[in-house]
Structure 1
Amino acid sequence: MNSCQCYAFEIMLHPLGVEPDSVSQPSALYTDAWGSWPTLTVSRQRLSEPMAIGFDEANARLSRLKRMFFEPDGSFVWTGQHNELAWQVDGNAYEFKGRVFWVALKGSCPITEFDQLLAGFGWPEETPMMQLLRPAVFLDEVTFRRHAARRGATG
């Protein structure tokens, strides 16, 4: 087990939304090597809505992070070190009508840095949901954090 309280992930970041019918309550369980996780049923309408934050604002916020390299096309890499352990997050933010549409994120980082990354996309004002890429299932933030922590604990 590693000494870093880190998250490990391969996700798409989407806005959760606040409309009552846009996301249902957790419905089915998804089971993987790290456990069983309640998933969300998400409407197509919900997936077509961009985040509240503007693309340029997200770029500006993320560019202020130490060791963050954010390109104008939305691709970025963020690196760091925690207790002698190197970490890296690769990502790509996609734009729609001047706002962040969704964000692809892959890598690992300490929990506090993940919070800074989310803040770059409007968290905690806007609640995200996370789509695990390979199984294509949606998790709420609390469930995702448990999943990412379990993955991170295994190195």
Structure 2
Amino acid sequence: MLKLHANVFAEPPAAIDGPVVELRGQSLPTLLSQTGGPPQFVAAMPTPFEQMQQAIRELPRSDTEPDGYFLITGHEPVADGDPVFWRLNGHMHEHQGRMHRVELHGECPAKTLDTVLQTMGWPDQPVVFQLVHEGVTLREPEFRAWAANA
């Protein structure tokens, strides 16, 4: 199960490797802009707001609101007990007709995260994750390691 609170952006074209930080007991490389500050999220994802919203709406146990808020829930089977309830909520933000960022918060299986990312154009569109509380940006593999180590 992944535990997360992050903004998902299209991978910035000019991002560079930043310092390695210690998060949840892991050493994870971050991303920076070429000037040394946070990455500049100027690229939009290829997906229009309405297309992503419709794709989310079609997922099992999902709900969407006109303002871009959505909720997806489910139960994950476990080997030695009752299924674990999970929920992932998000908020879609567009710029000039395409998705600029999507805030995701909650817990979900990795396959659910994959499904949500696909509604944004992933894997054809590489994405990065800005951790809301930690204030750092990670590439996808490092994000998944961080989210799985809650």
Q: Could you say whether these structures have the same fold, taking a TM-score greater than 0.5 normalized by the shorter chain as the test?
A: yes
Deviation per CA, 1:42-67: give whole Å up to 9, x if none.
36784132211111111111111001
Aligned twin of 1:52:
46
Deviation per CA, 1:2-49: give whole Å up to 9, x if none.
xxxx111010000004x3xx111x220121233221101136784132
Aligned twin of 1:73:
67
Superposition CA RMSD, Å: 1.5
* Superposition pairs of residues 81-96 of structure 1, within 5 angstroms: 81-83=75-77, 84-96=83-95
* Superposition pairs of residues 1-155 of structure 1, within 5 angstroms: 6-17=1-12, 19=13, 22-24=14-16, 26-42=17-33, 46-83=40-77, 84-151=83-150
CA contact (8 A) 1:28 1:38 kept: yes
Structure having the larger proportion of residues in strand? 2
CA contact (8 A) 1:42 1:138 kept: no
Aligned twin of 1:3:
none
Equivalent residues, number: 142
Q: Could you list the structure 1 runs, at least 4 aligned residues long, displaced by more than 2 angstroms after superposition.
A: 42-46
Structure 1: give runs of 5+ residues left out of the alignment. 1-5
Give aligned-pair identity as a percent: 27
Structure having the larger proportion of residues in helix? 1
Structure 2: give runs of 5+ residues left out of the alignment. 78-82
Partners of 2:98 and 2:42 lie apart in 1 by 12
Partners of 1:33 and 1:122 lie apart in 2 by 29
Amino acid at match of 1:95: E
Q: Secondary structure at the match of 1:47?
A: coil
